[in-house]
Amino acid sequence: MTYLFNDPAQFASEWIAGYAAAHRDKIYPVDGGIIRVHRAKPGQVVLVIGGGSGHFPAFGGFVGQGLAHGAALGNVFAAPSAQQICNVAQAVDAGGGILFCYGNYAGDVLNFNQAQQRLRAMGIDVRSVVVTDDIASASIAEKHKRRGIAGTLPVFKAAAVAADAGKSLDEVVGIATLANERVRTIGVAFSGCTLPGGDKPLFEVAAETMEVGMGIHGEPGLERMAATTADGVAEILLEKLLAETPAMIENLVGTRVGVILNGLGAVKYEELFVVYRKIDQLLSARGLTIVAPVVDELITSFDMAGISLTLFWLDDTLEQTWIAAADTPAFQRGRVEQIKENKVDRVQTKDKNRLTVGSAESQAAAAVVLAALEAARAVIDAQQEELGRLDAVAGDGDHGIGMQRGLTAAVEAAQEALAAKAGAGTVLVVAGEAWSDRGGGTSGALWGIMLRSLGNSLGDQVRPDIAMLATGIASALHDVAAAGQAQLGDKTMIDVLHPFSAALATSVHSSLSISTVWSAAADIADQAAEATKNLLPKIGRARPHAQKSLGTPDAGAVSMALIIRAVDQTLRTLCTKTTTVK
């Protein structure tokens, strides 16, 4: 269980505030995460990492001298938003380029890619290296699909050491890529984890069994087997890792290797050392030389009982980055040079965009948009626990609370925009930006894209009609599918958005009222959401749980249908006699 929390929705922001207060000598809080307390040298490359909360010390614990310059920190088990990532990146930018480095999860990839595009548009050179060390999550032939877990540390460290040494961005990217190619991890779990506010674990492992290869969010592993001794676990993990020795390693004898034995949250340090004793014996017996081993908690999952083992296959260059000194709140090695100058004392915050006043007709439509968002918030508030339950079947159980956070922020932003006399398009755009920023994760990013796309289509000058709405929804469908790389039949929100968009398009030339057209399309959306129970997920975090999710509708599809129906009720109240939005 997670015992100490206040409002679960505020857990991430509250732990970050406390963490920053406890380590003022090393880190500084910014909007969206934390940064080193001392600025990088002018003209040097900087490293920005990040991920969801709930995995401490990953990722905030790895900010400091010898490691990352900044970390974007999302909500519990949710990727940081693109805006959070941009805020952290701009706070540490020293003019030499930025490397993003993070684990390979759909939400992280989506949001870091968006942030990269935004920063490049500002003229900042940004690259990305995505860590893929978890051998249980895909075959070696599909290494690009593997998750990033404890092997993120040596990749982060390699990149940071190169950056602080003054190497070019190309060189920093190259060494981080090399480190990722030479790191392998596998874990084993004996129980699932419980999120703040949850009354039961997200996933359960049967008594006296263990899941070999289970991920840090409870993703299923390679196999479930009877629990064994500490020595037995060490042998199982090591044999699986050695079976994936990188091709460039021709002979184990004499090879130097970094080793990480990581506790996932509930396993005590004494237990870790019992296991490490056997790992040391087995590696030494095979003729390998262990370099600077780490036995610690490095990437956790609240109270999950389990461990992971990482092998980092070294060459001369990588060995120097691995043994280099570092001093962060959660990782110390050797002695770093003390910096007394260039300390961060203030970070310039970005002013809010000035809103363009809309026409009278568009302002009237904007009031309908706000009412629809408020209705959507009400239905998601009512269904938050059920959405979490649906998500926990094949995901991490946070969909409901993430949607709740995002819609709350969207409504607040829309209210401010409407008070400033913005039109319907601008209200949708600012609501989408707020949703993406506060909601985080995959759903936050996709709903942000959806509202921005629709808002850009509607504009601020004319009263939207059925044709404009159909065009805007079609544009949103295109942009969401492109960003999320989802197709019809993948068991995602696309399976609702696609038929809903098609239904609107078929009524463009009818004389029916906008509320009648939307209501008929909402019926189709409801049916489509229910039909996702017969689909197997093909992308995202639910993909490894494919069989487990059969018979349960997709949480994202259900929440989309609920919101479409909430908008339907708003339109029937406010727009019953016209083909345009009053």
Q: Where are the domains of the chain?
A: 1-182+315-337, 203-313, 360-574
pLDDT at 354: 66
Q: CA torsion angle for 349, 30, 88, 430 (degrees, to 10)?
A: -50
Q: CA torsion angle for 539, 195, 191, 300 (degrees, to 10)?
A: 80
Residue 121 CB partners (closer than 8 Å, separation 6+): none
Residue 465 CA to residue 362 CA, distance in Å, equals 11
- Residue appearing with tokens 């003229």: 123
Indicate the CATH number for domain 360-574.
1.25.40.340
Token pair of 79, please?
């990727």
- Residue appearing with tokens 């696609």: 498
Indicate the CATH number for domain 1-182+315-337.
3.40.50.10440
pLDDT at 129: 98
pLDDT at 349: 55
Chain length of the chain: 582
- In degrees rounded to 5, what are phi and psi of residue 552? -120, 130
The architecture CATH gives domain 203-313: 2-Layer Sandwich (3.30)
Token pair of 104, please?
């390979």
Give the three-state DSSP class for 227. Answer: coil
What element of type H or E holds 83?
helix 82-92
Name the catalytic one among 23, 69, 217, 545.
Answer: 217
Residue 303 CA to residue 452 CA, distance in Å, equals 38
Looking at the DSSP bridge assignments, the partners of residue 313 are 257
Sign of CA pseudo-dihedral 189, 5, 105, 479: positive
Number of other residues whose CB lies within 10 A of the CB of residue 403: 31
144 is annotated as an active-site residue: no
What element of type H or E holds 190?
none
Q: How deeply is 386 buried, as exposed, middle or buried, from its count of CB atoms within 10 A (0-12, 13-18, 19+)?
A: middle
Residue 548 CA to residue 329 CA, distance in Å, equals 39
pLDDT at 440: 85
Model pTM?
Answer: 0.91
Decide if 495 contacts 534 (C-beta within 8 A): no
Domains 203-313 and 360-574 share a fold: no
What is the residue-level pLDDT of the chain in tens, covering all 582 positions?
788 999 888 899 999 999 999 999 999 999 999 999 999 999 999 999 999 999 999 999 999 999 999 999 999 999 999 999 999 999 999 999 999 999 999 999 999 999 999 999 999 999 999 999 999 999 999 999 999 999 999 999 999 999 999 999 999 999 999 999 999 999 999 998 888 887 778 778 888 999 999 888 877 778 899 999 999 999 999 999 999 999 999 899 999 999 999 999 999 999 999 999 999 999 999 999 999 999 999 999 998 999 999 999 999 999 999 999 999 999 999 998 877 777 887 666 555 556 889 999 999 999 999 999 999 999 999 999 899 888 877 666 778 888 999 999 999 999 999 999 999 999 999 999 999 988 888 999 999 999 999 999 999 999 999 999 999 999 999 999 999 888 999 999 999 999 999 999 998 888 888 999 999 999 999 999 999 999 988 776 555 555 677 889 999 999 999 999 999 999 999 876 555 666
Q: CA torsion angle for 486, 490, 495, 498 (degrees, to 10)?
A: 40
What element of type H or E holds 573?
helix 555-574
